[in-house]
Amino acid sequence: MSLKDRDDKRRFESSRERGRDVFNIAPTFFKFFGRLPMLVQRSVKISLPFVVLAIFTFVPMPVDIQIQHMLGIFLCIAMLWTFGALPLPVTALLVPVLLTFYGIFPTDKALTPFANPVVYLLMGGLI
C-alpha cells in the first residue's frame, strides 16, 4: 500500500468517525454527564423526574386530568427506577402516596395492598 493510499484511508476513516459523532450525540452527553461532580449527578437524577411530574401537572393537555396525572406519575416513577436515584422500596412507596395526593385513588384503596400481614412479615425479615 502506497503512502498516498494510506493517507486517503486515514482521511476517510476520520471523516466517517466525525460523521458518526454528529449523528450520535448520546455518547458525548454521557461523557459530559460523567465528568460532573457526583453531587450534581445525584441532584439531577433526583430532580429531573419530579420536574417531569410538575410539567405533567401544570401544563394543560387535551386529555382528561386524571389521565394526565397518571402519565406524569408513571414517567416520574419510571425515571426514578431507571436512574436508581432513590432506593427501590422508596420508589415503590411513592406510587400510592402520589396516587392519593393527586386524588386518583382514595387513601384506603391506594394503601390496602400494604396492609396484608405477609407484607409486614417480609419487610421485617428483609430489613
For residue 120, CA distances in Å to 8, 36, 89, 110, 115 come to 69, 40, 13, 17, 8
Higher pLDDT, 15 or 116: 116
Q: At what angle do helices 38-58 and 65-83 cross, to 10 degrees?
A: 170
Phi/psi at 19 (nearest 5 deg)?
-65, -40
Higher pLDDT, 124 or 70: 70
Every domain of the chain and the residues it spans: 1-35, 38-126
Higher pLDDT, 27 or 76: 76
Of 33, 125, 127, 48, the C-alpha closest to 87 is: 127
Residue 9 has pLDDT above 70, yes or no: no
Q: How far apart are CA 124 and CA 118, in angstroms?
A: 10
Q: How far apart are CA 34 and CA 81, in angstroms?
A: 19
- The pLDDT value recorded for residue 62 is 92
Q: What pTM was computed for the model?
A: 0.66
